[in-house]
Chain A
Amino acid sequence: MNIRLFSYFVTLIIKSRMEYRGAFIIGAVGQITGYAANYLVIWLLLQNFDTINGWSWTEIAFLYSLNILTYAIGASFTYTPMVSLDQTIINGDFDKYLTKPLSPFTYYLANLFNIGYIAHIVISLLVLLWSITQVDMNWTAIKLIYLVLAIISGSFLQAAGLVVIGSLSFIFLRVRYLFEIFFKLKEFIAYPISIYGTLLQMVLTWIIPLAMINYYPSIYLFDDSVLTNKILGVVALVIGPLGFYMSYKLWMYGANKYQGAGG
């Protein structure tokens, strides 16, 4: 599937959603309010403590926004398709994704692209841009390019997490509780992971590398004089696309298994 076809799907999806304009607007307002409240909580917290483990309010706002922005981008493509995959398989609706001259993966993602994340993107991008101007550091062209790449890589990694769990639908049929665990785990990276114990830090870095989404890019940007920050900063750029590719392979493996077993 090429980008033109994918964007035609998105056009149709926008057209469909606009049939229910009111619901769309209410949803967007609700999401923006919800996230604004989250920011407010962190801000209030920092009014009392000044810093969390050495991180100022603006730095945490940057970290937090990076998580939400990459999640919103990744989830636009993968949240709806992956969360509804188990139901799609059980209903037998998955068959139609195997009857077109397209990759079932991209066809399935394109068909269920979710434009609702525009609200997340707006609020997190606004706060991110604001925090860039406020954080106590020197922005260079290289760092700005790094930030863009980190956002892309982080989006892939967020998407990969959803795709991996979605793939398990092909085997276990119902995976909703696994998504709940995933979202619980993701709450850890709302704050700098240095506040947790070593074990949890190791898990979030090497086993379920959620810290690669926002923590390591942030510490590299804030302080590139430390070698490990540099190394992990580069790892963070690679791990997203790599993780997404692996999740894609897993998903296709599941789809093949579906063809063998018959759902």
Chain B
Amino acid sequence: MIRVEGISKEYKQFARSTGVIGSMRNLFSREHTLLKAVNEISFSIEKGEAVGYLGPNGAGKSTMIKMLTGILVPTSGMVTVNNLVPHKHRKEIAKKVGIVFGQRSQLWWDLPVQDSFDLHKRIYNIHDTDYRTNMNIFLELLNLKEFITQPVRQLSLGQRMRAEIGLALLHNPDILFLDEPTIGLDVIAKDNIRSFIKQMNREHKVSVLLTTHDLKDIEEICPRMLIVNKGELIFDGTVDQLKSNLSPGKLITIEFESNPGNEVELANADLIADHGIRKTFKIDKGLDSAIDFVKRVSKRYPIKDFSLEDSDIEDIIRMYYRSLDNDNNIGIANQEKMSVI
């Protein structure tokens, strides 16, 4: 469905000298440096997949979406969407994909939401029956019925985003691209949008590629994620794979009846926080050893209570970015040495 092979995108950045003389000089000499926004990235996405595209600011996420939708032409490499090269078949691609830019609107600001949908019906030449079917879905699932007759300028950000997503799906696209769809929304609005996208993906088999900063978006919607940093693809796999690759371990906090001191058995575990009778250990291996560990400890020292926690996805990603900053060549296998934040 989507095939990306060794794709790169370079931008020319003109060096700007400072000061009046510098800006005069800029008029005549245009020195530029090449900025690689996307560097030799390859991946493919099959029909019906939901993929999260993740990376810090400036990692080249939007650039990738723009190349996939034909807005931008790649500097080198090959992209096909539905076996078509996007920038050469822009109109055909436009019929097959829906796009939501979280920070740009497709809606007509001063008009009722309904008008924007009517316009899209005409732009995409949507058949009456398809239009009615889809509108009924959106009116219910996105709850558009609560504001469809209101001018867009009166909507809340969450309502507007629901309308944007409905609009992008009106022409039954095979693929939905979402560029930061939940940006700026409150928790409930985010939940609504995530569950809708998930439903369209699972039940209506719309392929989804979404960029985001919010990892919850990916956890909820996307079984697979691609992580990019500084234009390069650094991870392609599932959330679970990322977790097990990084092996962040588990944290066990044990509350003892009385302070056992520092002589607690330390096999397979590191003591990482010590508050007297409450101590936190980090265990590298799976859950079994955590239970064994607690059992072993409780045989020797009476314990009152214990709690077990997994590092959540945010911690994992944070570790991942940080490790890349520390040493660009460090392999995933070496990550186990890192401490949990």
Contacts and interface: CB of A to CB of B under 8 A. Distances in A.
B108 A95 contact: no
Q: By DSSP majority rule, is chain A's interface helix, strand, loop, or mixed? A: helix
B71 A95 contact: yes
A192 B111 CA distance: 45
A12 B111 contact: yes
Interface residues of A, number: 22
A95 B101 contact: yes
B74 to A, nearest CB: 10
B301 interface: no
B104 A96 contact: yes
A5 interface: yes
Nearest to A94: B71
B71 A12 contact: no
B123 A101 contact: yes
Contacts of A142: none
B106 interface: yes
A180 interface: no
Contacts of B45: none
Interface string A76-112: 0000000000000000110110111110000000000
A33 B73 CA distance: 49
Interface stretch (B51-59, B86-94, B210-218): B86-94
Contacts of A54: none
A260 interface: yes
Contacts of A16: 108-111
Contact of A99 (B94, B108, B110, B119): B94
Question: Is the interface on chain B under 10, 10 to 19, 20 to 34, or 35 or more residues?
Answer: 20 to 34
A255 to B, nearest CB: 10
Contact of A5 (B12, B90, B109, B123): B123
A4 B123 CA distance: 11
B124 A99 contact: no
Nearest to A93: B104
A27 to B, nearest CB: 16
Interface string B117-129: 0010011100000
Given A8-B119, A101-B94, A261-B12, A95 B124 contact: no
Interface in B265-312: none
A60 B306 CA distance: 96
A5 B73 contact: no
Contact of A259 (B37, B73, B101, B119): B73
Contacts of A260: 72-73
Contacts of A99: 69-71, 94, 97, 99
B125 to A, nearest CB: 8
Contacts, number: 66
A9 interface: yes
B232 interface: no
Contacts of B151: 19
B66 interface: yes
B123 A95 contact: no
A92 B97 CA distance: 20
Interface string B8-30: 01011000000000000000000
Contact of B108 (A5, A12, A96, A101): A12
Interface in A236-258: none
A165 B108 CA distance: 27
A259 B151 CA distance: 33
Nearest first, the 9 A-B pairs at minimum CB distance are: A16-B110, A101-B94, A101-B91, A19-B110, A98-B71, A260-B73, A259-B73, A101-B95, A95-B71
Interface of B: 9, 11-12, 37, 63, 66, 69-73, 87, 90-92, 94-95, 97, 99, 101, 104, 106, 108-111, 115, 119, 122-124, 151
Interface of A: 4-5, 8-9, 12, 15-16, 19-20, 92-93, 95-96, 98-102, 259-262
29 contacts: A4-B122, A5-B122, A8-B122, A9-B119, A12-B111, A12-B115, A15-B110, A15-B115, A16-B108, A19-B110, A19-B111, A92-B104, A93-B104, A96-B101, A98-B70, A98-B90, A99-B70, A99-B99, A100-B94, A101-B94, A101-B124, A259-B70, A259-B73, A261-B11, A261-B12, A262-B9, A262-B11, A262-B63, A262-B72
